[in-house]
Amino acid sequence: MSNKVTFGLKNVHYAVATPGQDDSWTYSEPKKLKGAQELTAEVIAGKTDVYADDRILATLVSNSGSNISLKLTEVSDNFKVDVLGYERDSNNNLVEVVNHRNKTFALGYEIQGDDKSRRVWYFLCTASPISDATKTKAESIEPNSVTLNITARSIEIGNLSVIRVISKYGDDNYNDFFSSGPTVTNVG
């Protein structure tokens, strides 16, 4: 039985990805990304109808990945250094470096539902630089938030192009799903 509703967002993790010589990827130990408020993933897709004989002969569909928007209360300093290319100076200050190389990472999170909690890993993600926004305190205090704009792309596993793996409560790897980067076994 699948979820009829979904709610909640927790256990957001990231793991820096390193490419191998053979188009494989390895992942660092996952780290928690605290303060997750909202996540939206929109498929980057296209559809083309092929017409012949005065009708639609075929419909071609493409899936090129996902655009993910992750709203957080704050982006951790570790994520800024590990993924966004910030450096630390001799005073331990964060220094934003604009000519850094984008680092690829896996993004994991957990959502709940009426049937089974699901855990998700996106394999290959790249984040855009973040913007700052804040406002003054008034009669009431409104907390700030930061949005990470992330592009998730696929990884080649055998003859398949795979973008994410989803585990539900009861799957063999559910309990240790976030203890290492994403893996897929015997698919296809």
Q: Tell me what pLDDT residue 116 has.
A: 78
Residue 188 domain flag? no
Tell me the C-alpha to C-alpha distance, in Å, between residue 129 and each of 99, 103, 145, 146.
Answer: 11, 11, 15, 11
Question: What pLDDT, in 10s, does the model give residues 39-85?
Answer: 998 887 777 888 888 888 888 777 778 899 999 999 999 999 999 99
Count, residues in the chain: 188
Residue 1 domain flag? no
Q: Tell me what pLDDT residue 181 has.
A: 85
Two structure tokens written together for 92 = 């331990």
Residue 174 domain flag? no
**97 pLDDT exceeds 80?**
yes
Question: What pLDDT, in 10s, does the model give residues 134-151?
Answer: 777 778 777 778 899 999
Residue 177 domain flag? no
List Cβ<8 Å contacts ≥24 apart for 124-132: 124/17, 124/25, 124/152, 124/153, 124/154, 124/155, 125/14, 125/68, 125/150, 125/151, 125/152, 125/153, 126/102, 126/150, 126/151, 126/153, 127/83, 127/84, 127/102, 129/84, 129/96, 129/98, 130/75, 130/84
Two structure tokens written together for 169 = 């409560």
- Confidence class for position 113, pLDDT limits 50, 70, 90: confident
Q: Tell me what pLDDT residue 130 has.
A: 84
- Return d(Cα 185, Cα 157) in angstroms, integer: 9
**Domain count for the chain:** 1
Residue 144 domain flag? yes
The answer for residues whose C-beta is within 8 angstroms of residue 62's C-beta and 6 or more apart is: 45, 46, 47
- Domain range enclosing 66: 6-168
- Confidence class for position 103, pLDDT limits 50, 70, 90: very high
- Return d(Cα 10, Cα 82) in angstroms, integer: 21
Residue 173 domain flag? no
**112 pLDDT exceeds 90?**
no
Question: What pLDDT, in 10s, does the model give residues 9-41?
Answer: 899 999 999 988 887 889 999 999 999 999 998
**176 pLDDT exceeds 80?**
yes
Residue 178 domain flag? no
- How many angstroms separate the most distant Cα atoms in the chain? 72
Question: What pLDDT, in 10s, does the model give residues 150-164?
Answer: 999 988 888 888 889
Percent of the chain's residues with pLDDT above 90: 43
Residue 152 domain flag? yes
**8 pLDDT exceeds 80?**
yes
